[in-house]
Amino acid sequence: MYDIEALYEAESVSHAIELLSEHPEARIIAGGSDVLIKIREGDLAGCTLVSIQRLDELRGISIDRDENIRIGALNSFSHITTDPVIQKYIPVLGEAVDTIGGPQLRNIGTIGGNVCNGVTSADSASTLTSWEAVMEYRGKRGVRFVPINEHYVSAGKTSLEHDELLTAVLIPRESWENCSGFYIKYAMRNALDIATLGCSANVRLSKDKKSVERLRLAYGVAGPVPMRTPSAEKAAAGKPAGEDTITLAAKAALEDVNPRTSWRASKEFRLHLVEELAKRAIRESIRRAGGAL
């Protein structure tokens, strides 16, 4: 059923990096929800795998000494949804990954795998982009930190080198403190489907809750990689937290996106979704932040 040349079980992060260096053709397997499907379909026939499933050091969610929210790359979607740190500070991420597949997939699929496959439709990607996530890579040359907008290079490709391992996803304090967000996934079905378009907002209001101090708005499937919308963010900054600002920002988002026509939806329909989902995501984010609409 699965055509696999060899399977190596990593005993530590450094061991996994060593195995990747020794086997240039090897692929990492964590939950396996992507890799095993590709093997079964013949795309990775005869491949060599390096399993990191036993590396508990890559699990857990905490706030580190620099006040980043640190999400281990091996955390499953189910663990992210129910984790107390996520629920308290960035519940939108738990809500986003809870739209992925069904319960079985969410129990085995990992946040690391979701961002390392490089696809723009990954349900965690637009939320991590709007919360300005930083990827922690570890390799033979040491540790490097890569902003998520540099992590995604092109469709299906990331900046992760072959002998590097994604060990954690970091959310900087500046992006989670006093921030509220909302994610909307538009798909052809309500469950077990890939996003036709995903939209995630991150809003920080002024102390009196009457104006938008800062907006971060990001999309999946609005281009070849998950993307922020600087025009929308600029349009909302410092403006009253009301419907006029929401409409202005949603309209401005159209300046930054470049969706394509596919069998799932036309470019024109996706552009309609870009504007409409932005309105809904920003509106709900303002409400969650304590704004009166």
Q: Which CATH class is domain 4-51?
A: alpha beta
| Separation between Cα atoms, residue 180 and residue 231, nearest integer Å | 20
| Separation between Cα atoms, residue 162 and residue 18, nearest integer Å | 11
- Model confidence band, residue 1 (pLDDT cutoffs 50, 70, 90): low
Residue with tokens 């319960």: 103
- Model confidence band, residue 3 (pLDDT cutoffs 50, 70, 90): confident
Question: What residue segments make up the domains of the chain, in order of their start?
Answer: 4-51, 178-288
Q: Which of 12, 13, 53 is nearest to 36 (CA)?
A: 53
- pLDDT > 70: percent of the chain: 100
| Separation between Cα atoms, residue 44 and residue 201, nearest integer Å | 36
Other residues' Cβ atoms within 10 Å of the Cβ of residue 5: 13
Region 23-44: mean pLDDT is: 86
pLDDT digits (tens, 9 = 90+) for 212-271: 999 999 999 999 999 999 999 999 999 999 999 999 999 999 999 999 999 999 999 999
- Model confidence band, residue 108 (pLDDT cutoffs 50, 70, 90): very high
- Taking the alpha carbons at both ends of the chain, their separation in whole angstroms is 55
pLDDT digits (tens, 9 = 90+) for 130-157: 999 999 999 999 999 999 999 999 999 9
- Model confidence band, residue 26 (pLDDT cutoffs 50, 70, 90): very high
- For the domain made up of 178-288, give the CATH fold: Enolase-like; domain 1 (3.30.390)
182: pLDDT strictly greater than 70: yes
The per-residue pLDDT for 35 is: 85
